[in-house]
Amino acid sequence: MAKKIQDPDFWYSFLLPYVNWHTRIAYRRFEVHGKENIPKNSAVIFGVNHSNTLMDALVLLAADNIKKVFIARGDIFKNPAVAKLLNFFRILPIFRIRNGVAAVRQNDDSLNKAVDVIHDHVDLYLFPEGTHRTKHSLMRMGKGLFHIALDANKQFGEKSPVYIIPTAIEYGDYFRYRSTAMIHFGQPINVTEFIKNTTEENEAVTINQLKEMLGQEISKLFTYIPDDEDYDAIWEIVKMKNEKRAGGLYKKMLRNRATVEKVQKYKEEQPEQAKNLFERVMAFAQERKRQKISVMSTAKKYPLINFIWKLAVLLIGLPYFAASAVVNLPVWLTTLIIKGKLQDKAFSNTVSFGVEFVLFPLIFIVGTILLFCYLKPWYWALGGTVLLFFSYRVFVDYCELCRRWISDVRWTFKKKLRKQYESLKLNNLF
C-alpha cells in the first residue's frame, strides 16, 4: 500500500521540534487561544486567514505538537524536486483555473487525499483566500475547502461528523522579524448538522452559505477592518489608540476590535465628520512616516522619559550588541541583501526566518567549537556559548529598541507634529 501523506515519518518527526522552536523564537511573544473549541478525535478542517506568506503555515505548525497537513496553491509544485520536498512537509497542492485546465484536473487527487487525511482524524489546514495579503481584512474565499468538507461528509459524515474550524492569525507587524503572533481558534462549524438541517439541494448555493459563515466567524477572531476606502485611516486610529497599552496579545486584539467598532459607529452616525477626521488622520500618518516616527512614539505621554531609559539600556547593552553584530554578520547581511531584491515585501519575515534557520545554527556550532578550543578555563567557554546562543535575538531586539529610541527622540522635538496629533482628539472621540 502506498504511503499516505499523513503517515508517520521518522525524519519529519525528528525535525519538527527544531522547526517549531525556530518559529517561536522568531517572535518576541507567541500566544495560542481557543484550543478548547477544537473537537477531539473528529474530522476537522481549519479555515485560516492568509496574511504573512509562509510564516502563516509555520506559526500554525508551532501552535502545538499535533499532526497537521496543509494545502497550498499548486503553482509552487511545478518543480519536481520542490514538489517532493513539499510532500515531505505534508503539503498538498490545489490548482486554480489560472494554472491551466490540465493542472486543475489534478485537484481530484489532492481532494481525495485531503478527505482521507481528515478521515484519519489528522488536522487539515487551508487558506481559503487562496493568496496572502498583509491586511487586517479578508478576501473572497475559494471553493476548495468547502468541496473537501462536503465530500468528506458524503463519505463518512454519519459516522464521524465533519467540522470546519474558523482560525485567525494576528501579527504585531507583518514585516519585522521578532514581532508578535497570536493564533485564535473559533467555534466549530458542524458541516454534517448544517447539511442535515438545510433543504437546499444546489451544492453551489450550499458552498456559498458555508463561505459566508466561515468568513463571518473568522472576522470575529482578530482585528478585522472592512476592506473599503477608509481601511488605512481606521487602522491608523487603532494603532494610535492601542499600540502601547499593556496586556497580552488577546487583550490587545479585543481593545483593537472595540476601537474599530467605535470608529465604524462614528462613521455611520456622523459620516461628514468621520470623513474629515479620516483625512486629517491620514495627513498626520503621512507626515509621521515621512519624518520616520513610529506610531508607538505617538502613544507616549512623556516621550522624554521613555527615550532616557531606552538610552540607558542601549548603552549598557552596547558591548554585547557589538559582539553579536560581528558574530552574526553572515545572517543579517544575507537577510538585508535578499530583502533588497524582494518584489513582494510580504515575504520579508519569511526571508528573515529562513536565513536565520539556515545560517545561525552553523555559526553557533562553529563558534561553540572555537570557544572550547581556545577559551580556558572551560566555564568561560560555557559562558561564551550561552551568550552566543542568544546573540542573534539580542542583535535584532537591540536594533528594534534603537529604532524606537530614535523615533522617541524625533517625536519629543517635533512640537508641530505633536500639536497636529493632539488636534485629532482621538481619546475624546473613541
- Which residues does 27 contact at the CB level (< 8 Å), separation at least 6? 178, 179, 180, 181
Which of 266, 291, 316 is the endpoint of a domain? 291
User: 161 and 309, same structural domain?
Assistant: no
Domain span at residue 251 reads: 231-291
The residue among 139, 177, 174 whose CA lies nearest residue 56 is 174
Q: Which residue type does 179 have?
A: S
Alpha-carbon distance 283 to 277, whole Å?
Answer: 10
Confidence bin at 104 (pLDDT 50/70/90): low
Residues 239-261 have a mean pLDDT of 89
Per-residue pLDDT, 10: 92
Per-residue pLDDT, 304: 73
Alpha-carbon distance 129 to 145, whole Å?
Answer: 10
Is residue 45 within 8 Å of 145, Cβ to Cβ?
Answer: yes
pTM: 0.93
The answer to whether residue 427 is domain-embedded is no
pLDDT at 380 over 90: yes
Alpha-carbon distance 378 to 394, whole Å?
Answer: 24
User: What's the number of CA atoms in the CB half-sphere (13 Å) around residue 307?
Assistant: 21
Alpha-carbon distance 128 to 20, whole Å?
Answer: 24
User: 338 and 395, same structural domain?
Assistant: yes
Confidence bin at 41 (pLDDT 50/70/90): confident
User: 145 and 27, same structural domain?
Assistant: yes
Backbone angles phi, psi at 386, to 5 degrees: -60, -45
User: 16 and 90, same structural domain?
Assistant: yes
DSSP-derived pairing of the beta strands 162-171 and 91-94: unpaired
Question: At what angle are helices 107-119 and 144-156 packed, to 10 degrees?
Answer: 50
Helix (H, G, I), strand (E, B) or coil at 148: helix
Residues 237-254 have a mean pLDDT of 87
Residues 299-324 have a mean pLDDT of 88
Q: What is the pLDDT of residues 118-164, one digit of tens each?
A: 999 999 999 999 889 999 999 999 999 999 999 999 999 989 999 99
The residue among 398, 402, 397 whose CA lies nearest residue 292 is 402
The answer to whether residue 358 is domain-embedded is yes
